[in-house]
Every structure is written in structure tokens, then in C-alpha cells.
Amino acid sequence: MNSTHPFNAGEIPALAVRQGGGGQVTPLGPDAWRLALAATSANAYALAQLDDYLHLPRVRFRWHPPVQLDLEARVSASNLPGTWGFGLWNDPFAMPLGVRGSARRWPILPNAIWFFHASPRNALTLRDDVPPNGFLAATFSAPTWPGLALLPALPALLGLLWPPSARWLRRLLRQFIRQDAVRLDHDVTTWHHYALRWFSDRAGFSVDGHVVFETTIVPRGRLGLVIWIDNQYAAFTPQGQVRFGLEATPPAWLEIRGLRIAGE
């Protein structure tokens, strides 16, 4: 991640709070928060989230390369159901799922750069050589077509109901959605310093000052900052199986501190 770009010390961003299904965000200091879920059944969506794009259209999302994000984080357990993480994305699915205050946006193809934990029920990859779950440093890169441009492709989604056609669609999507990721194996229940750098032609991730992943597959367009913990899962397996839903979860939390982000 060496670069001559003169990143400054960064700023503490102004963040909006989203809470649903027993999720709660609690400030712990000027640059620290606890995002917590109460014990939740698989019948209700639970979310605790901080982001900087709540009411914004995607064209006004703030971040574009070069960007550096730094924070320290820990979670209550390494094997939590659902997902949690922190980084930048374009909120591609635009599904508020019962959380009030979300801007309404058309679904689009995903662009993201983040540290992302996905429980074993998740399989969030189109490539067979990329880890589908675990704690990942990951990127997604896709064309920034407007959501309306994807409407003609909606009938093709019926092919997801039949595994042979779903496998074909999965291969087809690889032509439009590129991704890269590596699974990380350190203890996420203790404090670690996480940093990512996003440039127009490359990206790098570090943990405690050590580079853990570098890639030339980088997101396109403008992205928003997101930090979250929830109880949902989604899978699109190499066998053509499509699954999504909610997981029962015990009380769980994600704590962050020292949040800083710098960019142009």
C-alpha cells in the first residue's frame, strides 16, 4: 500500500444511525461506537448500522479515490450469524428492510471495498476461487449503469429458480461483476487496527500496520461509508443454489473506535 499520495490525518465523518429489530447504536466517545443486536430469532431482521449516505442519492455519495479509511474494531464472537463489517459501498440493493429514513434507490450492480464478515450460510461470490464467507478483505467492481438500465434483465431472474440456468447466470454475471477477496484468520474479538486504501487503479488492506491484501480490482463510481452488524445471509453457490434469509443470533456487538477517513 505504499503511495506518494499525501493523505492527511483524516476526519471523523458525520454518521446517521439505522436501528431495527432490536439493533442499537450507542456512542462510546467522539469517534467510538457500539453496534449491538439483542438475541433475535430467524423471523425478524435485526440491524445496527452507521453510514454517511442515509438521505443521499448515489450521485452524491461522498467518497471516490483516493481514499484512506482507518479504525480499530472488535466483535463479541468470531462465529456470529449473519454479517458485519466496515468499509465503502454503493448500497446496491436499496432495500431498507423495515429501517425508516432510508433513501429510495433503484437496485444497481455492486461496487464495494471493505472488511466483511459473512457466516457459513453465506456464499457471496461469483468466482469459485474467491472465499465465499468468513472474515474477508474484499472488493467488488461493476459498471455504474443506472438502475433503470437493468430493468430489461429482470425476466432473466426467473432462471435462478432452476439450478442449471442459475449456474449459467452465475457465470454470465462474472463478465460484469468482478471481485477479489482474501480470508483473514486473526482473532477478531480483540482490538485490531484496520486500514484500507482505495486508488483508481489499485487497493490495499492492512491489519495492525501489516499489509494483508492488495488487488487491482477496485470499485467504480462514488461510494458511501458503512459500518454494520445484522442477522441476514445470502448465497449463490457454484451448484446454482440461491438462498437468502435470516439467522437466529445471540446477543452480539461490534465496537469501533478511532474512526478516521481521508480523501479528496
**Strand-pair partners of 86:** 115, 227
**Would you list the domain boundaries of the chain?**
16-263
**Residue 1 pLDDT > 60, yes or no?**
no
CA 12 – CA 2 distance, rounded (Å): 23
Give tens-digit pLDDT for 226-261: 999 999 999 999 999 999 999 999 999 999 999 999
Is pLDDT larger for residue 122 or for residue 146? 122
Please state, as a whole number, how many other Cβ atoms lie within 10 Å of the Cβ of residue 182: 17
**Residue 100 pLDDT > 70, yes or no?**
no
Least confident of 36-50, 153-167, 218-232, 240-254: 153-167
The pLDDT, as a whole number, for residue 104 is 66
∠ CA 182-212-143, rounded to 5°: 50
Strands across the sheet with 83-89, in order? 16-20, 47-51, 224-230, 83-89, 112-118, 134-141, 178-184
Give tens-digit pLDDT for 12-36: 999 999 999 999 999 999 999 999 9
Q: Where does the pLDDT of residue 7 fall: very low under 50, low under 70, confident under 90, or very high at 90 and above?
A: confident
- Do 223 and 59 touch, CB atoms closer than 8 A? no
Is the domain spanning 16-263 CATH 3.90.1150.10? The answer is: no
**Strand-pair partners of 73:** 192, 256
The pLDDT, as a whole number, for residue 103 is 61
CA 60 – CA 168 distance, rounded (Å): 35
String of DSSP letters for 181-246: EEEE-S-TTS-EEEEEEE-SS-EEEEETTEEEEEES----S-BEEEEEEE-EEEEE-TTS-EEEEE
Q: Is the whole-model pTM more than 0.85?
A: yes
What is the enclosing helix (H) or strand (E) of 165? helix 163-173
